Amino acid sequence: MTVVPDVTRKVTLAIPNGLHLAPISRIVESAGQFESRIGIEFDGKTADARSVYDLMLLAATCGAPLLISAEGDDAEEGLRAIAAILESPSQETAERS
């Protein structure tokens, strides 16, 4: 059995209205495609990326510094996918059109 180390990455939340239901839904859907456990930390609170409730409780606003961590065989891929959602304001803009 191969031991896979944790991977972490600091990102800045770029979604104009912060974490709300639409981006949270994308995060939960994306996290569900990976076997790895993925967490997002903000202001001393950690959320499971597969939990809408946990993510809502973060109450992270645009510009918030977030720490994403992942553990498992596909941790790198999972971390990249979640980071792409959090760092991309374009999804938010597309939702308003």
Residues involved in catalysis: 20
Q: Six-digit token pair at 1?
A: 């059995």
Q: Name the DSSP class of 6.
A: P
Of 34, 9, 20, 12, the closest CA to residue 87 belongs to 12
